[in-house]
Amino acid sequence: MTTTEHITPASITPAPTTRRLGATGPTVTSPGLGAMSLSGAYGPTDDAESLRVLHAYLDAGGTLLDTGDFYGAGHNEMLIGRALQERSREDAVLSVKFGATITSTGMPRGFNGRPENVATSLAYSLRRLGVDHLDVYRPARLDPEVPIEETIGAIQEQVEAGYVRHIGLSEVGPETIRRAAAVAPISDLQIEYSLLTREIETNGILETCRELGIGVTAYGVLAKGLVAGRSGGSREIFPRFQGENLARNRALLEQIQGIAATKGISMAQLAIAWVASRGEDVVPIVGSRRLDQVTSMLGSTAVQLDDQDLARIDAALPVGAAQGDRYPTALMEQLDSER
């Protein structure tokens, strides 16, 4: 599949727009910058280049930085902390996931949502980031051994203490969302949502969020690089990049390449613009580890998809069209959102 991933036409102004994370959350820029790839998730990185990426996004007016305390075993937070040393704290809206337990090689092996872990994890994040509060704090996954009410209650204590501004969720289903929202205001749910992952439209998750005034921060917007024609390397652990699944998914995306070509944009920009088009309560989070990717990402805000474009996309990529699960079996079993 051919791609024009990093083309940004002169008619596109690379600048973010603003949206609010739910009825109670902060105002952020869209798209947000996902920082995971700056810590080696998809290949080697260079800290100097990563710092340039962070500054380029913030200099362009971007605010939303999404990270996790387990990204690079803390490296990601320390990297963002270095960038923020040169700026005002108010330049960034920091969204942090916690709770993933990892092996010595950095691979996830479970989740710890116990109340006593909340304060400890938060303390480490504040120190690595060099800040006195986080804007959004969320458990990375549901701990099956801990009622969500206990985890959210512990985060609410940190809100009341001034160390956290808002509470988010990640990869949980409708019942868990409701139980969490009964304990404290929830700003947003972070969940995978893309051209190839649309299940939240039919499984009650998006409906529940909208009923409760909870925003959606969508990750995996580029389908882990599949939209841009990427494959191989660490991506091979994901079923959608394996064998016939990969061929099928590439063929699906080829059906809409003409839309991007007609508009003079990249497939990546089309994918970001499509997620943003799903509603003002949806904020795409896009991983970038090079300066040209930041420019391409921000350029997506000028892309206009009309009714004909959207109908063509719906016909080519309906819910469930993608071949293969979005994670390996062991990781899929950890997702409350898939139950």
Q: Which residue in the block uniquely carries the two structure tokens 């009923």?
A: 211
Sign of the dihedral through C-alpha 66, 72, 74, 75: negative
Q: What angle do the packed helices 115-129 and 148-161 form, to 10 degrees? A: 40
Peptide bond before residue 31 is cis, with ω within 30 degrees of 0: yes
Q: How far is 232 from 194, CA to CA, in rounded Å?
A: 20
Determine the Cα–Cα distance for residues 165 and 158; give it in Å rounded to an integer.
8
Asked whether the beta carbons of 17 and 280 are under 8 A apart, the reply is: no
Strand 282-287 to strand 32-34: parallel, antiparallel, or no bridges (unpaired)?
parallel
Helices (H), 213-289: 243-254, 257-263, 267-276
Give the other-Cβ count within 10 Å of 207's Cβ. Answer: 13
Active site residues: 71
Distance CA 235, CA 223 (A): 10
Cα separation, 174 vs 185, whole angstroms: 15
Asked if 267 and 296 count as a contact pair (C-beta separation under 8 A), the reply is: no
The amino acid at 269: Q
**β-bridge partners, 97:** 68, 138
Output the CA–CA distances (angstroms, integers) from residue 255 to 7, 273, 296, 297, in the order listed.
20, 17, 22, 22
Q: Cβ–Cβ contacts within 10 Å for residue 113, how many?
A: 23
CA distance 40 to 76: 9
**Among positive and negative, which fits the CA dihedral 46, 49, 52, 58?**
negative
Question: Could you count the other beta carbons within 10 Å of the beta carbon of residue 267?
Answer: 25
